[in-house]
Structure 1
């Protein structure tokens, strides 16, 4: 039904990173990673895991001329890393984030010219994706808890930008954890965004742990996705509330239709 994936940065944290990746793969999941520059790509290749998504840039932003140029340059480097891992999707954010997930250049408000600049930059990214035969996915974030100061953070913002660019090489990474904090109304959100979704990420609220530990009715969301015809990746980007394998099983159970 859905292709399930798990973010390796957030589970089995007592293991070296390559062993985490191997463990996730052994349990039957695809693997997602964040900043690829922190890892030994040759070692990750040797795990035999299937990688479904990774961060698609090192530095840069959507709205300044220098930031956009840096975004494109480091995206080109990321594409080469993705080729080594045979990873089809590369993740983007509304601006560059530091190691704590905070914006390198916080933005208090977004102006009309910023929107136009972001659309131009994302058009460049989509063209880069077309040439490289990969898909860049623009992720929504929340500004209330995890990422204050990030522009174009809400799912409504990312959806508007993806629609404006209108390319199969720029899609949404629709993160339902962030969307619940920022907007809610998740089932209607996934239905309206469905034609533009590249993948879906999940965690529960509050706490950002596996499905079933908070307020989100993920089995209902899974049914809505299935009924709407979604057959793509659903990735758990969440901490384990306790035992890691149990957390992954709860995730699998929530999305088993």
Structure 2
């Protein structure tokens, strides 16, 4: 099995139109990931011939809010044809609604009602994913730097929710950038979460740039993924600290202990 590296096109080669970013990443051998598809030229993206890996799986509502959770499922259903058009099978959801990256309704305490609502909503997404051949990936977030006011955001919370739901089409989008800021102990986290991971995302800390620009030893993380036998994708969701070509190559180099190992 070929181990896949993906790169978020929203954050690198930003001087180029999105379609040209997709071409550049595809030619470099990466899967292309999108934050969302709202307002994007889908026909132009299709013409790039790129392999698209993931996108946002909903456009409204909050997973853990009893008043708006139904909108997560409704808009997920509406977005599935777009995902299928681009060949995307990994749809990303968050513990609560984000607007321009910030909490739509900041909540600084998680309640039992939030937990139950989130679990029930994820179960419905799992059923939807099974019906249409896609997976929904619940992403952990940090509430210290980037996303204050998001409940149930820590990796241990998202892991608990995915475990509780127990559906094969509901997995974790384990973002190690967010986990490093909020929790640390990344290799132990990978070990604990392994059966439930649908994708691992990475960026260095601080700065959210490519591996090698901060404090995380991503070659050690890559070696741990090889030891654990992880076979899902690893995605770079990071800004380039300088030249984008050099940034994505630094990502590729950091994960050689994983990509070059045999399952």
- TM class by shorter-chain length? over 0.9
**In structure 2, distance between residues paired with 1:28 and 1:252:** 10
| Alignment RMSD (CA, Å) | 0.8
SS at structure 1 position matched to 2:206: coil
**In structure 2, distance between residues paired with 1:38 and 1:171:** 27
Quote how far apart the aligned CAs of 1:58 are: 0.6
- Are the equivalent residues in 2 in contact too, given 1:51–1:87 (CA < 8 A)? yes
CA deviation map 1:204-225 (0-9, x unaligned): 0000000000000000000001
Q: TM-score, normalised by structure 1?
A: 0.98
Quote how far apart the aligned CAs of 1:151 are: 1.1
* Structure 2 gap ranges (5+): 258-263
- Are the equivalent residues in 2 in contact too, given 1:33–1:53 (CA < 8 A)? yes
Q: How does 1:13-28 map to 2 (within 5 A)?
A: 13-28=14-29
SS at structure 1 position matched to 2:92: strand
Q: How does 1:22-101 map to 2 (within 5 A)?
A: 22-99=23-100, 101=101
Quote how far apart the aligned CAs of 1:66 are: 3.5
- Are the equivalent residues in 2 in contact too, given 1:33–1:55 (CA < 8 A)? yes
Quote how far apart the aligned CAs of 1:63 are: 2.4
CA deviation map 1:192-211 (0-9, x unaligned): 10000000000000000000
CA deviation map 1:22-58 (0-9, x unaligned): 1111111000001111311111111100011111011
Is 1:167–2:167 an aligned residue pair?
yes
Return structure 1 stretches of 4+ with deviation > 4 angstroms. Answer: none
Per the alignment, residue 261 of structure 2 pairs with none
Per the alignment, residue 141 of structure 1 pairs with 141
SS at structure 2 position matched to 1:38: coil
- Are the equivalent residues in 1 in contact too, given 2:203–2:238 (CA < 8 A)? yes
CA deviation map 1:206-255 (0-9, x unaligned): 00000000000000000001010001100000000001000000000000
Per the alignment, residue 120 of structure 1 pairs with 120
Is 1:204–2:204 an aligned residue pair?
yes
Quote how far apart the aligned CAs of 1:67 are: 1.2
Quote how far apart the aligned CAs of 1:77 are: 1.4
Per the alignment, residue 180 of structure 2 pairs with 180
Say how many residue pairs are matched. 256
* Structure 1 gap ranges (5+): none
SS at structure 2 position matched to 1:76: helix
**In structure 1, distance between residues paired with 2:9 and 2:218:** 21
Per the alignment, residue 245 of structure 2 pairs with 245
**In structure 2, distance between residues paired with 1:38 and 1:253:** 34
- Are the equivalent residues in 2 in contact too, given 1:2–1:255 (CA < 8 A)? no
**In structure 2, distance between residues paired with 1:209 and 1:8:** 14
SS at structure 1 position matched to 2:126: helix
